Amino acid sequence: MEPLTNETYWEKHFENASLINRNLEKQFADFLPFFDSLPAFSRKKMEQIFEVGCFPGRYLHFLSQRFGAVANGIDFVRDFSPMTDFFKSSGTPVGALIQGDFFKTEPSNKFDLVLSIGFIEHFPDPTEVLKRQSAWVSDGGLMMVTVPNKRFLRIPFAFLFDQKNQKAHVLKSMRISYFKQVAQEMGWELLACAYVGGFNPKVHQPLNAVQSVVYRPLKWAIKKLNPWLKKRPSKWYSHTLLAVYRLPASNS
């Protein structure tokens, strides 16, 4: 399946994505209630974690350390060394880290938790991506998916400041009703599905002089509002939609 992005897009996106000296607990604060629910959701100990699109490894490292699980993953970026060097220096237990095309790689093992962070929405048919992701999940295992929320108030924001990045996302995957529909169609149990966080004012393109004049005070206002918004997550502005599935006991 051809994505709406390419390797150059992701290498540019992560060119400054060093893990060193990052306070990941603070960075992932909006997600912690969901992350910490995963052991209770699981009917077995999470010993093996697998991330689809794993580079630069923030989530994989964090969850591996938090649950004492072995980190595994796949990504098509050409240079894994920043991630593998950090895993080695931090003592992150590592299993299989695969450099390759997710859509051309068949699972040789299955995993207790399979996650993708901001991945499925870059493909024309997110449901097919979810089906393929599920093939890596062990019997009765968990699958966690996050997508950025580019709908509602983010649409006019993107029109003004971030049009190119907006076009790299499939918006239909950013609805709770979408994840409920997938659960019903696939026979998966939807354990959690919610919007999290405040409004993300990040842009992914240079701004011209006029855009900058408008953007700077708007970014300041959003920063002031976000502590209030984070306590009241909503489809209208929250930065991420997160879903957790439990797959059948005989997942094949």
Per-residue model confidence as pLDDT tens digits over 129-152:
999 999 999 999 999 999 999 999
Q: Which 3 state secondary structure label does DSSP give 88? A: helix
State how far the Cα of 111 lies from the Cα of 54, in Å rounded to an integer.
14
The pLDDT score that the predictor gives to residue 250 is 83
The pLDDT score that the predictor gives to residue 140 is 96
User: Average pLDDT for residues 112-131, to the nearest whole number?
Assistant: 96
Q: Is 80 exceeded by the pLDDT of residue 114?
A: yes
Q: Is 70 exceeded by the pLDDT of residue 11?
A: no
Can you list the positions of beta strands (E) in the chain? 48-52, 70-75, 94-99, 111-117, 137-148, 189-196, 240-246
- Classify domain 7-151+163-198+240-246 by CATH architecture: 3-Layer(aba) Sandwich (3.40)
User: What band does 16 get if pLDDT is binned at 50, 70 and 90?
Assistant: low
Q: Is beta strand 240-246 parallel, antiparallel or unpaired with respect to 137-148?
A: antiparallel
Q: Which 3 state secondary structure label does DSSP give 54? A: coil
- Dihedral angle at the C-alpha atoms of 214, 217, 222, 223, nearest 10 degrees? 140
- 224 and 246 in contact (C-beta within 8 Å)? no
User: Average pLDDT for residues 173-177, to the nearest whole number?
Assistant: 98
Output the pTM of the full model. 0.93
- Provide the residue ranges of all domains of the chain, joining segments of one domain with +: 7-151+163-198+240-246
User: Average pLDDT for residues 32-54, to the nearest whole number?
Assistant: 95
The pLDDT score that the predictor gives to residue 225 is 98
Q: Is beta strand 111-117 parallel, antiparallel or unpaired with respect to 70-75?
A: unpaired
Per-residue model confidence as pLDDT tens digits over 62-75:
999 999 999 999 99
Give 116's strand partners. Answer: 52, 145
